[in-house]
Amino acid sequence: MALNPYIGHGSNSEQYLLEDLIIESLSIYGQQVFYIPRTLINKDQVFGEDTLSQFKSSFPIEMYFENVESFDGQGPFIQKFGLFMEQSATLVVARRRWSQLVGQFGKTIIPDRPNEGDLIYFPLTKGLFEIKFVQHQDPFYQLGKLYTYKLNVELFQYASEKIDTGIAEVDAFETLKSFDTDPTVTNAFYVKSLTITDVGAGYLTAPTITFTGGSPERAATATCTIDQTTGAINAIEITDTGKGYQTAPTVTIDPAPAGGTDATGTAEIAMNVDGQGGYGDNTSIQLDRDDNGKRPAWSEDNPFGTF
């Protein structure tokens, strides 16, 4: 049967009252933590992941720990990679407070809610946790509305991310956990694309394209072709993407002859993640070779190499 119109099922005033009580309870019994959004540097559009993320900002906010006795998880144990610490917890945060203190700044990858992969810093234990899953329907529609998020978090496993939040205790994780305390990788930036913003007109021969500035280890080069009828640039080719750019270079194109229109262009740089270098990046493999030096010492028949 249809709902009785004379019986309330959660008016706006009732919903606001319940939400205010929840926010007040979380403020009284919760703990102040820092919400640290993840920033993607060079997302893989196929696999949807980023091999080198950044954490550049932090937002103080109150959250309630559902774990009242201790953290979940196995704690310290020995695995094949050595000693491993497994700790997990469930945090509760009010939706309205998250929107007020974090969401309005638009720093999360997916807007309007906490994101898996973002970090939570708990000053009381000086622990840095990663959000593994966000439950958004628990409790389930009290008075016809959702009021909280439940965040399932685990102890963060550092993997060469850039951490620069402005909080000394958080930024120290990068120094403590990284083999290379300077994660700035400038030798891996290259010219990703060249965009002709004005094709010009009146060129008799293809003009020379030059990349200047950006302090590269090796400058990029490019060539172009022109339309013989109009003298405008109709095609470009980056013949060398260059290496080690710190900023995008300036694109200079030879001026057109008298009466023509000069062509202009801009360049965009990107990081070559596979060539960034560093201790833990596994970007190159030093191959052992057999006696004649022509092939690796390991093969399909002998995957462990020669001894």
pLDDT at 166: 86
Q: For the purposes of burial, counting CB atoms within 10 Å of the CB of 166, is it exposed (0-12), middle (13-18) or buried (19 or more)?
A: exposed
pLDDT at 226: 95
Locate the domains of the chain by residue range. 12-177, 189-275
Q: Read off φ and ψ for residue 215, nearest 5 degrees.
A: 50, 55
If we measure between CA atoms, which residue out of 133, 161, 119 comes closest to residue 33? Answer: 119
- Per the rule left: phi > 0, alpha: psi between -120 and 50, beta: everything else, 189 is beta
CA dihedral (21, 22, 28, 34) positive or negative: negative
pLDDT tens across the length of the chain (307 residues) = 566 666 666 788 889 999 999 999 999 999 999 999 999 887 777 777 776 789 999 999 999 999 877 777 777 767 776 776 788 999 999 999 999 999 999 999 998 999 999 999 999 888 899 999 999 998 888 888 999 999 999 999 888 888 989 888 898 888 776 655 444 555 578 999 999 999 999 999 999 999 999 989 999 999 999 999 999 999 999 999 998 898 899 999 999 999 999 999 999 998 776 554 443 444 444 444 444 444 455 555 665 555 4
Using DSSP bridges, classify how beta strands 233-240 and 221-226 pair: parallel, antiparallel or unpaired.
Answer: antiparallel
What is the value of pTM for the model shown? 0.58
Do 37 and 113 touch, CB atoms closer than 8 A? no
Rounded CA-CA distance 285/152 in Å is: 37
